[in-house]
């Protein structure tokens, strides 16, 4: 059993993030009704056949004091921390860093191995080009790099208004716990070279990415378009009990693409393979045969997944 902890001050957005991850569709209503978390909320989930315990540490000061007073009781055995900072709340940056520092001190002293993902959360879409918040986040990142001598630290910007930012962050964090997982992305970039690939990606049934390879310079709006398609397809595949779906669509600029989503079954575990390529408008036959060719790569992929499942 692996242990994952969501830590940070109260109101940072920890419970919202967990809710978004576990629901993925239509979580807005649940998030709007969230109450402050009392003490520690726990749930479990499975990834690659391995059981994970997910701990949501209520961030009120009284709880924080309690955790820090008995860290061996609360923090011991954690494999991965998602440390959530409310990026919009400049006034509490210092308080948040102080808390992180104390948490990390425990792991440093006990020499327990822990991975740390730091989330600059509430980085909402309308703030992406905001100079002030970008400057503040950058300063904070610079201050935080001093921990990288002792810990594997990774930074992410997230917002619940972009579910992809959350799922990508969660997937990256989890994949740090699986050494071999990067082989999936490596295989995909190899395969991509042979076709006019826009995206090859492998998800589990909860939407956690095992690996992906995008066409270089794919714009954010294009990525989001693809992600929206993927979410809808996954919903339909489940609702209609299908294992395969072919589709064709276009980006805002008119560029057309074709894709296929296929369910790969391993015992009780389902994985989703998404393959999207540029459409060759002069020769649609060619596009169709390309989609066939992904079949050729499947044995390799299945072999890889088998190695990853615990």
Ligand X SMILES: Nc1nc2c(ncn2[C@@H]2O[C@H](COP(=O)(O)OP(=O)(O)O)[C@@H](O)[C@H]2O)c(=O)[nH]1
* First-last CA distance in the chain: 11
Q: How far is the CB of 160 from Mg ion (least distance, A)?
A: 13
Contact partners, residue 20, CB within 8 Å, separation at least 6: 27, 31, 160, 163, 166
Min CB(11)–ligand X separation in Å: 4
Two structure tokens written together for 280: 């060759």
Q: H-helix or E-strand containing 273? A: strand 269-278
Min CB(211)–ligand X separation in Å: 26
Site for ligand X in 103-122 (CB under 6 A): 121-122
Stretches 28-36, 102-110, 148-156, 286-294: which one binds ligand X (CB under 6 A)?
Answer: 28-36
Residue 15 makes contact with ligand X by CB under 6 A: yes
The interface mask with ligand X, positions 119-158, x = CB under 6 A, is --xx-x----------------------------------
| Two structure tokens written together for 12 | 């940072």
**Segment near Mg ion (CB under 5 A), from 15-23, 47-55, 74-82, 215-223?**
15-23
Closest separation in Å from C-beta 271 to ligand X: 28
Place of tokens 């020499």: 111
d(CA 153, CA 119): 11
Q: What part of residues 52-81 is at the interface with ligand X (CB under 6 A)? A: 59
For residue 224, count other CB atoms closer than 10 A to its CB. 15
Task: Give phi and psi for 183, each to the nearest 5.
Answer: -65, -30
Contacting residue, 4, 5, 7, 12, with ligand X by CB under 6 A:
12
Is 37 a residue that touches Mg ion (CB under 5 A)? yes
Cβ contact 19:27 at 8 Å:
yes
* Binding residues vs Mg ion (CB under 5 A): 14-15, 37
């Amino acid at each position: 059993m692996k242990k994952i902890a969501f830590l940070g001050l109260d109101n940072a957005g920890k419970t919202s993030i967990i809710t978004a991850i576990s629901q993925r569709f239509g979580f807005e209503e649940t998030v709007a009704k969230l109450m402050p978390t009392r003490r520690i909320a726990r749930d479990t989930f499975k990834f690659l056949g391995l059981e994970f315990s997910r701990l949501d540490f209520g961030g009120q000061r009284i709880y924080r004091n309690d955790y820090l007073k008995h860290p061996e009781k609360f923090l011991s055995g954690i494999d991965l921390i998602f440390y959530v900072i409310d990026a919009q709340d400049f006034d509490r940056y210092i308080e948040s860093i102080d808390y992180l520092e104390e948490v990390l001190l425990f792991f440093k002293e006990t020499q327990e191995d822990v991975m740390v993902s730091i989330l600059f959360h509430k980085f909402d879409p309308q703030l992406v080009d905001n100079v002030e918040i970008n400057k503040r986040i950058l300063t904070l990142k610079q201050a935080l790099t001093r921990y990288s001598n002792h810990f594997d630290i990774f930074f992410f910007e997230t917002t619940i208004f972009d579910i992809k930012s959350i799922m990508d962050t969660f997937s990256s964090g989890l994949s740090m716990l699986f050494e071999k997982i990067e082989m999936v992305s490596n295989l995909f970039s190899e395969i991509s070279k042979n076709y006019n690939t826009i995206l090859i990606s492998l998800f589990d049934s909860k939407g956690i990415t095992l690996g992906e390879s995008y066409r270089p310079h794919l714009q954010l709006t294009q990525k989001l378009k693809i992600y929206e398609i993927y979410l809808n397809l996954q919903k339909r595949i489940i609702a209609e009990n299908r294992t395969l779906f072919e589709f064709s669509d276009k980006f805002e600029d008119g560029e057309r693409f074709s894709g296929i989503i296929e369910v790969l079954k391993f015992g009780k575990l389902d994985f989703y393979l998404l393959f999207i390529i540029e459409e060759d408008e002069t020769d649609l036959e060619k596009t169709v045969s390309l989609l066939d060719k992904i079949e050729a790569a499947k044995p390799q992929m299945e072999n890889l997944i088998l190695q990853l499942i615990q």
